[in-house]
């Protein structure tokens, strides 16, 4: 193998598994260390810069970082990254004077953002703070989009949404609430330099099976029902409720139904339990609230008595996978199952909807009726119109919307300045030694052996009675510190300098997880098998050094390095060093690299 180029910014970025997995590339270990040090406001600001909504995401993020967390590969459970994010939002001081201010002198460019959800608000923040005049349109009375309308208040209270959306609106963003945009042509032809479409995926998918029309009064589309609950339009639900679907919306629906009067609430899903789209913790929480989840059942018919729903008939299936891994559901032949109920919530997916975009204005749609975009720039075929969030590439999650918002803001900025949208500004990276003394590092390199902390929750009897009462209480400072200490500091990188090495084997002998080997070089597959501990995880890189004096190379398997720094402490010549890798994604206004 060739010597690893650690100068390439994505090599060490990939070692920081959580940051790499985060769509917005939040510098996770950096803010976790600040939490351990009690510097909550600093930790909040790091988050705020990257993901815009730390308090919101600290409660309801999809947490792609946690399955990626290295701790999960060497210990039983990953670090509770998401809930630590909430800690810095909960315990911070007033940070308003640390927020950027919009320049007094504007640059004269006017941007329209359609929708006031996470993607639009991110665009608004990034552009307003560098002098753009941004106007946000939304059909609702308040900013927040689906964060406000679909996520139940017991998971995400309004106060948090108000605060974090407020930080953005206060940058001088003009808001036009309660205004439904019904023509893109008007915006494109109007006095706007660019238009951002962040309208999300507002249409809930229906279940067009027999009985749907007749019993329509008792069958609701999940996201519409959730919005009605959120805005206080819906009166209590009946006692017996069936929720169809296995995603996040289905989990929010069933748990909301439990709080709105549902006593016998069931979730019934086509897929198996493991394949459900909802995250494991969402399923756990539903089960905790006494909601059974029944799998491998496809709804066949809504049964009713003259329009009064009596229940749902299900066919029992099993999953089969073809050679390409595609799933098909095959009926098992068992008799169909009938489940009685009074009302049904359909939460089987949601779609984008663009009835307000005229078909003849030069904006192309593909065969799935999704806008044709350049995935790198999110620019549509109408150069002035940029997409982001669920409206761009289909329903994902808030953190993806924020990440796309940043990219869209960069595109809009480049577009307004007449620059090439494909010449994107690079991220800022830094790599600095953390050595403070002979055995002293600027980070706490003792590896915690504590178990993952559980977030305390309020009593179920209480929370089931009040849909606005937040269930989770968040970590207190002591739990937060203990949980933060579980972080392995993967951003403190092991950096090896071949010319300093005397091949004494001290690092090999001390490494607790045996990830360092000195051996003759070879092809990657051969080398992986020859290491002191074979490197079986091909997703994780091998760090290969230049040739050493004996003709061998140092090979380090990045997979389960604990970043404990023992190799560097044991190294007599300083050939190993622990260096902090910091990566901050570019923001709108950053100049592209000169070539």
> Which positions lie near another protein, rule CB under 8 A?
73-75, 439, 445-447, 449, 502-506, 508-510, 512-514, 533, 536, 549-550, 560, 562, 564, 566, 569-573
Q: Which DSSP string corresponds to 116-132?
A: -SHHHHHHHHHHHTTT-
Query: Which is closer to another protein, CB of 425 or CB of 522?
Result: 522
Q: Closest distance between another protein and the C-beta of residue 529, in Å?
A: 14
Q: Between 505 and 526, whose beta carbon lies closer to another protein?
A: 505
Q: Are 237 and 343 in contact (CB under 8 A)?
A: yes
How is residue 25 written in tokens?
């590339």
- Distance spanning both ends of the chain, measured CA to CA: 29
The distance of closest approach from Cβ of residue 522 to another protein in the complex, given in angstroms and rounded to an integer, is: 16
Identify which of residues 266 and 528 has a Cβ nearer to another protein in the complex: 528
CB 558 within 8 A of CB 19: no
- Smaller CB distance to another protein: residue 288 or 549? 549
Residue 185: exposed, middle, or buried by beta-carbon count in 10 A (0-12, 13-18, 19+)?
middle
**Is 52 or 527 the residue whose CB approaches another protein more closely?**
527
CA angle, corner 281, sides to 316 and 152, nearest 5? 95
Q: Would you say 287 or 502 has its CB closer to another protein?
A: 502
User: For residues 262 and 237, is the Cβ–Cβ distance under 8 A?
Assistant: yes
- d(Cα 402, Cα 389) in Å, to the nearest integer? 7
User: Quick one: DSSP state of residue 359?
Assistant: T
Q: Closest approach of Cβ 502 to another protein, in Å?
A: 5
Q: Tell me the closest approach of the beta carbon of residue 448 to another protein, in angstroms.
A: 9
Question: Smallest Cα–Cα separation from 176: which of 154, 143, 225, 215?
Answer: 143
C-alpha pair distances (Å), 303 with each of 40, 48, 218, 331, 341: 54, 50, 11, 20, 10
Q: State the nearest-atom distance from the C-beta of 565 to another protein, in Å.
A: 9
CB of 445 to another protein, least distance (A): 7
- Per the CB < 8 A criterion, the answer to whether 296 and 271 are in contact is yes
Q: What is the CA radius of gyration of the chain?
A: 26
Q: How far apart are CA 159 and CA 188, in angstroms?
A: 35
Cβ closest to another protein, residue 444 vs residue 546: 444
Please say which residue, 17 or 252, places its beta carbon nearer to another protein.
17
Q: Shortest approach of another protein to residue 64 CB, angstroms?
A: 22
In a 3-state reduction of DSSP, which class is residue 326?
coil
**Residue 510, SS3 per DSSP:** helix
Residue closer to another protein (CB basis): 308 or 549? 549
- Kindly state the helix (H) or strand (E) to which residue 14 belongs, with its residue range: helix 9-15
- Considering the complex, what minimum distance in angstroms separates the CB of residue 79 from another protein? 13
Pairing verdict, β 350-351 and 203-204: antiparallel
CB of 4 to another protein, least distance (A): 21
Report the residue number, 154 or 543, with the smaller CB distance to another protein: 543
% helix, strand, coil for the chain, step of 5? 30, 20, 50
Q: How far is the CB of 535 from another protein (least distance, A)?
A: 10
């Amino acid at each position: 193998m060739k010597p690893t180029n650690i100068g390439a910014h994505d090599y060490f970025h990939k070692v920081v598994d959580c940051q790499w997995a985060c769509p917005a590339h939040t510098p996770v270990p950096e803010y976790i260390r600040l939490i351990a040090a009690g510097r909550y406001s600093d930790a909040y600001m790091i988050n705020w810069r990257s993901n815009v909504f730390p308090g919101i995401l600290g409660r309801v993020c999809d947490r792609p970082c946690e399955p990626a967390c290295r701790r999960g590969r060497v210990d039983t459970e990953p670090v509770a990254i998401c809930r630590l994010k909430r800690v810095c939002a909960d315990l911070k001081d007033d940070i308003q004077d640390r927020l950027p201010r919009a320049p007094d002198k504007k640059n004269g460019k006017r941007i329209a953002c359609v929708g006031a959800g996470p993607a639009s608000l991110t665009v608004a923040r990034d552009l307003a703070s560098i002098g753009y005049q941004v106007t946000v349109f939304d059909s609702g009375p308040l900013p927040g989009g689906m964060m406000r309308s679909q996520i139940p208040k017991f998971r995400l209270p309004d106060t948090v949404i108000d605060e974090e959306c407020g930080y953005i609106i206060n940058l001088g963003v003009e808001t036009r609430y309660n205004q439904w945009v019904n023509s893109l042509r008007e915006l494109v032809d109007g006095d706007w330099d660019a238009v951002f479409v962040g309208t999300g995926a507002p249409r809930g998918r229906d279940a067009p099976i027999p009985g749907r029309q007749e019993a329509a009064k008792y069958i609701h589309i999940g996201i519409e029902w959730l919005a009605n609950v959120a805005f206080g339009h819906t009166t209590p639900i009946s006692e017996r409720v069936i929720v169809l679907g296995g995603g996040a919306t289905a989990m929010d629906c069933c748990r909301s139904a439990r709080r709105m009067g549902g006593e016998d609430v069931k979730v019934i899903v086509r897929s198996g339990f493991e394949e459900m789209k909802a995250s494991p913790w969402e399923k756990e929480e539903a089960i905790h609230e006494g909601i059974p989840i029944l799998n491998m059942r496809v709804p066949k018919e809504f049964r009713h008595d003259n329009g009064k729903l009596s229940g749902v008939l299900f066919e029992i299936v099993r999953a089969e996978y073809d050679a390409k891994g595609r799933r098909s559901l095959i009926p098992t032949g068992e008799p169909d199952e009938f489940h009685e109920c009074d009302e049904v919530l359909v939460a089987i997916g949601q779609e984008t909807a663009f009835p307000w975009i005229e078909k003849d204005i030069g904006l192309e749609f593909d065969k799935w009726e999704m806008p044709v975009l350049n995935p790198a720039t999110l620019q549509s075929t109408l150069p002035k119109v940029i997409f982001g969030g669920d409206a761009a590439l289909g329903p994902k999650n808030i953190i993806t919307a924020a990440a796309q918002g940043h990219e869209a803001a960069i595109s809009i900025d480049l577009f307004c300045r007449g620059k090439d949208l494909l010449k994107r500004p690079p991220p800022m990276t830094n790599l600095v030694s953390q050595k403070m003394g002979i055995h002293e590092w600027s980070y706490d390199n003792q590896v915690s052996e504590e178990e993952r902390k559980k977030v305390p929750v309020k009593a179920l009897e209480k929370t089931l009675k009040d849909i606005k009462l937040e269930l989770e209480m968040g970590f207190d400072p002591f739990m937060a510190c203990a949980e933060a200490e579980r972080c392995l500091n993967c951003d403190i990188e092991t950096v090896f300098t071949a010319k300093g090495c005397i091949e004494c084997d001290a690092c090999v002998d001390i490494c607790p997880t045996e990830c360092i080997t000195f051996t003759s070089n070879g092809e990657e597959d051969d080398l992986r098998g020859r290491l002191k501990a074979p490197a079986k995880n091909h997703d994780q890189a091998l760090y290969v050094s230049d040739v050493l004096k004996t003709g061998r190379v140092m090979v380090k398997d990045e997979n389960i390095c604990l970043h404990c720094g023992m190799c560097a402490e044991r190294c007599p010549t300083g050939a190993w060093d622990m260096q902090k890798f910091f990566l901050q994604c570019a923001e709108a206004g950053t100049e592209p690299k000169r070539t």
